[in-house]
């Protein structure tokens, strides 16, 4: 049994049966997860998460070459944690990119320089479903091979409702125009009473999960996120993970789970302290342990910072997202150390190899493009 080191060092006998289950690749239930989360030392969670990570992916650590388009930061919603948006109702100043401006961003990246464009932004009432369908078609004319990962379930829910279409019908319009997958944003925290306090006016948990379910049914892959480290409890975090695990049992459509640490600068929740690194690492580890059916755990380096992202690779993470090329503002505006997030492929490979892992460039669907030797 590969677990002998841990077995001899367990100080709390109640951990034994949970550890047995994890190391025998048996699913743990919510009660056990809560107990483990609240009582286990960081090194035990790290050991278990790393065990699962290496069972699934060995030493491989994935990244891709991508950039973001953020069409607007004007938003009809008023999420308390958001530092990025400018409220549409108050006519606050923000940016709104025209179709041509967005296509110019695409033209900046030669055919083979990137494999993915990630489109995400605020929810502007004048940018509707048909505007975005047009954008996708034009992007594909310029870069036919690029993978378009676009629009959070929040943006999708709003544009489908405005167009008076069901999620399935709306998604089909975007798929026909060139949409290839859906990012994980907008999930925040599913618990109703916490969601009401931090983002009460956008799509609820049921709606978010339904859009991802319909996307999976139509053959799109998607990601899922959690916004953690604000006013939610550990039980709320686990309830959120449980919702993802349950839907994944049904559809197998989620590729990666991405824990997003709440950053508290320049938003309405500045009084809420940010979580500390030990808590972040525990969170990553618990996500890896609980989500036994989601293949990849991603640390989004622009939010965590490079060195912390390296550390997460020992706590269940096997993916660091992409090169990004300074094309997102969501985290720099919320106080991340990464004010201009951009890494060359070489820098990202070095970041991974310095941490003792094998860097593997992937496409959005995790097909391997290039494996780098550790030397």
Q: Which residues form the interface with ligand V47 (CB under 6 A)?
A: 81-83, 120, 152, 183-186, 188, 223, 225, 227, 258, 260, 262-263, 267, 300, 321, 330, 334
CB of 35 to ligand V47, least distance (A): 28
Locate all alpha helices (DSSP H) within 233-300, ordered by sequence. Answer: 234-251, 277-290
Decide whether 109 or 254 has the Cβ nearer to ligand V47.
254
Q: Which does 336 bind (CB under 5 to 8 A by kind): ligand V47, ligand SF4, none?
A: none
Q: Where is 175: in which H helix or E strand?
A: helix 167-177
Measuring CA to CA, how many Å separate 321 from each of 10, 117, 208, 211, 296? Answer: 34, 12, 22, 23, 11
CB of 155 to ligand V47, least distance (A): 10
- Please report, as ranges, the residues that interact with ligand SF4 according to CB under 6 A: 75, 77, 79, 82, 84-85, 122-123, 154, 199, 202
- Dihedral angle computed from the Cα positions of residues 317, 319, 322 and 328, in that order, rounded to the nearest 10 degrees: -40
CB of 266 to ligand V47, least distance (A): 8
Instruction: Count the residues in the chain.
Output: 375
Q: Which does 334 bind (CB under 5 to 8 A by kind): ligand SF4, ligand V47, none?
A: ligand V47
Decide whether 50 or 267 has the Cβ nearer to ligand V47.
267
CB of 154 to ligand V47, least distance (A): 7
275 DSSP assignment: P
Decide whether 122 or 253 has the Cβ nearer to ligand SF4.
122
Strand-pairing partners, residue 361, are: 63, 370
Nearest to 52 by CA among 34, 27, 31: 27
CB of 328 to ligand SF4, least distance (A): 12
Measuring CA to CA, how many Å separate 197 from each of 74, 85, 274? Answer: 21, 18, 17
Q: How many CA atoms lie within 13 A of 210 on its CB side?
A: 12
Decide whether 236 or 321 has the Cβ nearer to ligand V47.
321
Decide whether 220 or 258 has the Cβ nearer to ligand V47.
258
Residue 20 contacts by C-beta under 8 Å, 6 or more apart in sequence? 3, 26
Q: Which does 85 bind (CB under 5 to 8 A by kind): ligand SF4, ligand V47, none?
A: ligand SF4
CB of 187 to ligand SF4, least distance (A): 11
Q: Which does 150 bind (CB under 5 to 8 A by kind): ligand SF4, ligand V47, none?
A: none
Decide whether 82 or 174 has the Cβ nearer to ligand SF4.
82
Is residue 188 within 8 A of residue 209, CB to CB? The reply is: no
């Amino acid at each position: 049994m590969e677990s002998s080191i841990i077995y001899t060092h367990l100080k709390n006998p109640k951990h034994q049966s949970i550890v047995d289950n994890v190391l025998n690749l048996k699913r743990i239930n919510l009660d056990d997860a809560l107990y483990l989360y609240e009582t286990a030392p960081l090194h035990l969670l790290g050991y278990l998460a790393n065990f699962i990570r290496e069972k699934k992916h060995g030493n491989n650590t994935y990244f891709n070459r991508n950039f973001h388009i953020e069409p607007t930061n004007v938003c009809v919603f008023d999420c308390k944690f958001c530092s990025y948006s400018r409220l549409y109702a108050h006519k606050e100043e923000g940016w709104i990119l025209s179709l041509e401006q967005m296509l110019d961003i695409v033209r900046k990246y030669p055919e083979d320089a990137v494999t993915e464009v990630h489109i995400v932004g605020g929810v502007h009432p004048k940018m509707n479903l048909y505007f975005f369908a047009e954008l996708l078609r034009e992007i594909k004319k310029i870069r036919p091979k690029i993978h378009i990962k676009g629009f959070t379930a929040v943006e999708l829910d709003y544009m489908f409702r405005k167009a008076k279409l069901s999620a399935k019908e709306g998604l089909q319009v975007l798929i026909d125009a060139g949409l290839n997958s859906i990012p994980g944003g907008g999930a925040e925290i599913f618990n109703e009473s916490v969601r009401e306090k931090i983002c009460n006016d956008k799509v609820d948990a049921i709606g978010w999960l339904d859009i991802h379910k319909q996307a999976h049914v139509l053959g799109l892959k998607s990601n899922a996120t959690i916004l953690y480290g604000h006013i939610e409890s550990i039980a709320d975090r686990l309830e959120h993970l449980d919702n993802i695990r349950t839907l994944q049992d049904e559809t197998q459509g989620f590729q990666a789970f991405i824990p997003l640490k709440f950053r508290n600068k320049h938003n309405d929740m500045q009084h809420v302290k940010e979580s500390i690194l030990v808590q972040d690492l525990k969170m990553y580890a618990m996500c890896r342990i609980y989500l036994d059916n989601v293949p990849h755990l991603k640390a989004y380096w622009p939010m965590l910072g490079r060195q912390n992202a390296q550390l997460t690779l020992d706590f269940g993470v096997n993916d660091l997202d992409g090169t990004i090329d300074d094309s997102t503002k969501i985290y720099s505006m919320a106080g991340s150390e990464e004010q201009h997030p951009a890494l060359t492929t070489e820098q990202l490979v070095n970041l991974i190899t310095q941490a003792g892992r094998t860097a593997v460039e992937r496409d959005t669907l995790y097909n391997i493009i290039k494996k780098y030797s550790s030397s």
